[in-house]
Chain A
């Protein structure tokens, strides 16, 4: 759509600007403030320069958490994206069953995150949970509070359970936008199922899939509540992801300086990814028009 230049439009944006300034800029400046100061208590602060940043960059703690975080995001993307596409391809295209599938698949997306954690915490327990009990009965040694591998598998299966539907729903929306003529042409050409997927469906889904991948990456990157409820970051530090570590540092130990420096670097990574996301989105919008 061709837009007209109108500086008065600023007045329409002003309420958003003020509100978000209050709920985002002020808190963020507080963080910046803490990151360059030190205190001996009694609310007396003094300038400390960049030592917190240096300390955080030199410590293994942040790098380990970042490593775990990248591994977590990588694994869930590698599972959720192909699985989501696969499910979308198998969904009924129209009719009652299509609605039933859409509603049932959306269910996990709407459950409060700590309840998601609670559900899986209970589900995986060997004494009262269906999953844990079954695995135990099969003779598999499964204990997510003691065993690192079991903890990781539980978190990943939980996230797959929680969010694969999002990828599937977006992929499904992309698939539905493909005109029948494409499939008819493919049929005339006697294209195989794989070729139909590779040359018709995948290119048509690429837009929504990019959105799905970036959203899943960013949301998994800031995941907190679910792993906190299930494993609390343990056993040891095995599942201490970035947000869990940050909250531990800021609200648990009240190490304001290092936590603030940590926050800022964390936020910068998110900012970078958001920028990629934004560029991709605006390019997609341009292609559309």
Chain B
């Protein structure tokens, strides 16, 4: 609120009705962000002949055939199921190992803690391209190629460090006295952690889960390299639309829209924590 008054103090008096510059800037920026998404949505409701032959800003011949194609063809919808399976597995694994580790980092000093923390971070920063081939060979040699668990484990490469960092940020906000009081009251570590500590950082766990889900969902290079048929993710299935008769634009657009939905649905709940998550818990 205070900044508004500063704005008023510094603005010059004008004859014209005052144009709200904030409104203009935000509108322009949001239009820039939403135009490509609008175009995708627009295309997904058109027939292929309309997409190719006429240029229209909205579907003249509104159809949901593209969505029906995806939702009824197993080759398409198993892609979504595969993606959801490995993304969920990854989220569970990442959180399960990250929770105790984040607690240790937030509460104790121990030998090599700083080096370990740094080493974890380097994995968040590692280019997936470097790991694609070795992952392929590693998971082939242990017989996990083309399984959901392989992709889930591969994605822990960048999601575990992320989860540790985010959770550590949230845990530092919980006063240590709570731990000490609980131990005096006779709680063991396990009981204290599950019954008292985890409810206290519930929002942190939610945010970490969201970010694990999200980064596993948007990644393609590793998930495509590690799968062929049985665990093929939806993102890789999208190449199916390129056939002998050209590209099936309508279905491609509909598939794209459907991949945006999961993120769009949960984003409302974490809107105030998004910055914190991207900054690895450091805002």
Contact = CB atoms under 8 A, between A and B. Distances in A.
B22 to A, nearest CB: 5
Nearest to B265: A110
Interface in B87-140: 93, 96-98, 100-101, 103-111, 113-114, 116-123, 125-135, 137-138
8 contacts: A12-B100, A24-B126, A101-B30, A107-B33, A190-B9, A243-B129, A251-B133, A274-B125
Nearest to B257: A115
B79 to A, nearest CB: 11
A265 to B, nearest CB: 10
B104 A31 contact: no
Contacts, number: 303
A90 interface: yes
> Chain A, interface size: which category?
35 or more
A60 interface: no
Interface in B240-283: 249, 252-253, 256, 259-260, 263-264, 267-268, 271-272, 274-276, 278-280, 282-283
Interface stretch (B69-77, B153-161, B200-208): B153-161
A172 interface: yes
Nearest to B23: A90
Contacts of A133: 55
B282 A122 contact: no
Nearest to A18: B97
Contacts of A242: 127, 129
A196 B10 CA distance: 10
A193 interface: yes
Contact of A20 (B55, B157, B280, B283): B157
A177 to B, nearest CB: 8
Interface stretch (A45-53, A139-147, A179-187): A179-187
A270 B122 contact: yes
Chain B interface main SS type: helix
Interface of B: 1-3, 5-7, 9-10, 21-22, 25-26, 29-30, 32-37, 39-40, 43, 51-52, 55, 93, 96-98, 100-101, 103-111, 113-114, 116-123, 125-135, 137-138, 153-154, 156-157, 160-161, 164, 172, 176, 214, 217-221, 225, 235, 238, 249, 252-253, 256, 259-260, 263-264, 267-268, 271-272, 274-276, 278-280, 282-283
A267 B130 contact: yes
A122 B276 CA distance: 33
